[in-house]
Amino acid sequence: MDIAAFIAPLRQLRLNKITRIILLLVLSSTVLFSVLTIAYTRSRDSSYMFGIPSALLRSNTSNSSFPPLERVRIPTTPESNTTTPSEVHEDVLLNNGTHRANATLLMLARNTELDAALQSVRELEEKFNHQFGYPWVFLNNVPFSKAFKEKMTEVVSGPVEFAMIPPHHWYQPDWIDEEKATQSRNTMVEENIIYGASVSYRNMCRFNSGFFYHHPVLQKYKWYWRVEPDVHFHCIVDEDPFLKMEENNKVYGFTITLIEFEKTIASLWKTVKDFIAENPHYVAPNNSMGFLSEDGGETYNLCHFWSNFEIADMDFWRSEAYSHFFDYLDAQGGFYYERWGDAPVHSIAAGLFLPKDRIQFFDEIGYEHHPFTHCPHGAGIIRKKHCSCRGWRSFDYQGYSCMRKWERIF
Ligand SMILES: Nc1nc2c(ncn2[C@@H]2O[C@H](COP(=O)(O)OP(=O)(O)OP(=O)(O)O)[C@@H](O)[C@H]2O)c(=O)[nH]1
Ligand SMILES: [Mg+2]
């Protein structure tokens, strides 16, 4: 600014020197105040410095089904888009003290997987649970080793239980025709189908499909977050996903969706169609058939939610519809005569027996189970949640992902 031009009009006035100085001071402070006000207003908009109006950024990255942060957590101002780690900590402690969901973190694991299990648990504790203190439940088909229990107890922040699975929930039932099952496994081996030879893998898939939520140690819980050994959590989870599910009337939450190996579920869809023909009343209005099928349900497009990550309500699995559905599938023997996975079984049930808006895609949870990673959509949320993953690594729009099919039904 040209000072001479600024004070020239003052010289014209016939004022004494002191009055002129006072007037000059008043005018300069007014100008300075205006400049500071504009700068402050701009700095409140966290994304402005990246040249993107925050309203646009929010509409790109926010999860439309969930209310904004401030409705779920303690009251926050729009400036909380630029949360610093210390603010996150304070926020969570307050929230933690007020309300927690009836939920547990759940891992099925083998003793031999101790290191991989510790790795997953440490990461989830660091990114989420050390601030929330949810309990852990570890399940195994054999007793957990002393080392497993001791090491795990050291890394969890909340209460922990180690439990054995009742044998009749795990092992292949007597009524399965073993000759037929062996023949099917041999064929899968010849066809190079992953886990084609494994009976224990089939036990695990059947257990996860129809039994885990009946385990005595899980009866006291409604919600679970399924965690596997050797997975990664890439972003801070500073909003309680269980409470978000609860408050938004959700039942099933996922992060990755993809195509199943067709040969492992050759007769699954036919069985589903038979079940539905006999029990049409279980099918929800506004279901996700458009995600599961390209032809209105005639054939299955193999899309499913990847169930190694699940945040869900066990009361859905305990419901009449799902219990009836699982028993019907189980009676066909497809868990052993083929290699039906808990992922398509859970996904088809959630997709058909729930309205689609009760299924939650957790975009903001960066998650990796080799070989696929989900990284949140949009640079804004990756920064806000301090994610260690890169957006371009996200599986969501790659070849075998079903994300576009999920999005098309909304
Ligand atoms: N206790 C126990 N847990 C098992 C057994 N088989 C698998 N699991 C667990 O079941 C879950 C799924 O098994 P994974 O071997 O990871 O199967 P997957 O995710 O389809 O395949 P990967 O690509 O190998 O991870 C993991 O939590 C395993 O620890 C078993 O025989 N006993
Ligand atoms: Mg796995």
Q: Whose CA is nearest to atom 4 of ligand 1?
A: 109
Pair of tokens at residue 212: 């885990």
Q: Where would I find the beta strands (DSSP E) of 148-261? A: 160-164, 223-226, 231-233, 252-254, 257-259
For the ranges 21-30, 54-63, 333-342, 346-355, which has the lowest average pLDDT?
Answer: 54-63
Give yes or no for residue 85 having a pLDDT over 50. Answer: no
Higher pLDDT, 199 or 37: 199
| 381 or 31, greater pLDDT | 381
Q: pLDDT value at position 224?
A: 98
Distance 382 CA to ligand 1 centre (A): 29
| Two tokens, residue 326 | 């699982």
Q: Please report the pLDDT score of residue 64 as a whole number.
A: 27
pLDDT in tens, 359-402: 999 999 999 999 999 999 999 999 999 999 999 889 999 999 99
- What pLDDT is attached to residue 392? 87
Rg, the chain, Cα only: 28
Contacts of 314 (CB under 8 A, 6+ apart): 213, 218, 221, 222, 223, 224
The pick from 106, 107, 108 for probing ligand 1's pocket by mutation, whose C-beta has the most ligand atoms within 8 angstroms, reads 108
Q: How many angstroms separate the CA atoms of 286 and 354, rounded?
A: 8
Phi and psi (nearest 5°) for 395?
-75, -15
Any idea which residues carry the catalytic annotation?
Answer: 310
- Beta strands 252-254 and 310-313 are antiparallel
112 close to ligand 1 (CB < 6 Angstrom): no
In which residue are the tokens 């402005």 written? 48
Residue 283 in this model has a pLDDT that exceeds 80: yes
Which ligand has the shortest distance to the CA of 207? 1
How far apart, in whole angstroms, are the C-alpha atoms of residue 104 and residue 222? 8
- Convert the pLDDT of each residue in 261-280 to its tens digit: 999 999 999 999 999 999 99
**Which pTM value belongs to this model?**
0.79
Note the pLDDT tens digit of each residue in 314-325. 999 999 999 999
Number of H helices, E strands in the chain: 19, 12
Q: Is 335:210 a contact under the CB 8 Å cutoff?
A: no
Cβ of 141 less than 6 Å from ligand 1: yes
Tell me how far apart the alpha carbons of residues 107 and 384 are, in angstroms, rounded to a whole number: 28
d(CA 178, CA 184): 10
Q: Would you list the domain boundaries of the chain? A: 3-44, 97-408
Q: Which residue, by CA, sits nearest to atom 32 of ligand 1?
A: 110
Q: Is the CB of 313 under 6 A from ligand 1?
A: no
In the reported structure, the alpha carbon of residue 196 is separated from the centroid of ligand 2 by a whole-number distance in angstroms of 15
- Residue 171: exposed, middle, or buried by beta-carbon count in 10 A (0-12, 13-18, 19+)? middle
Residue 396 phi, psi (nearest 5): -50, -40
Judged by average pLDDT, the poorest of 46-55, 86-95, 135-144, 219-228 is: 46-55
Which atom of ligand 1 is the closest one to the Cα of 308?
A: 19
Contact 221, 102 (CB under 8 A): yes
Percent of the chain at pLDDT > 90 equals: 75
Buried b or exposed e, range 294-308, using 16+ CB within 10 angstroms: eeebeebbbbbbbbb
Considering every ligand atom, which ligand is closest to the CA of 194? 1
Q: What is the pLDDT of residue 393?
A: 85
pLDDT grade for 99, boundaries at 50, 70 and 90: confident
Is 169's C-beta closer than 6 angstroms to any atom of ligand 1?
no
More confident site: 30 or 247: 247
Q: Supply the pLDDT for residue 344.
A: 99
Q: What is the mean pLDDT of residues 84-97?
A: 35
Closest atom of ligand 1 relative to the 203 alpha carbon = 31
Please report where in the chains the tokens 């579920």 appear, as a residue.
265
Tell me the average pLDDT of the chain.
Answer: 83
- Cα of 41 to ligand 2 centre, how many Å? 48
Sign, CA dihedral 168-170-175-179, equals negative
CB neighbour list of residue 264: distance below 8 Å, 6 or more residues apart: 188, 193, 338, 339, 340, 341
Peptide bond into 371 cis (omega under 30): yes
- CATH class (in words) of the domain with range 97-408: alpha beta
Q: What is the pLDDT of residue 146?
A: 98
**Ligand 2 centroid – CA 308 distance (Å):** 6
Instruction: Express each pLDDT in 115-146 by its tens digit.
Output: 999 999 999 999 999 999 999 999 999 999 99
Task: Indicate the pLDDT class of residue 304, thresholds 50, 70 and 90.
Answer: very high
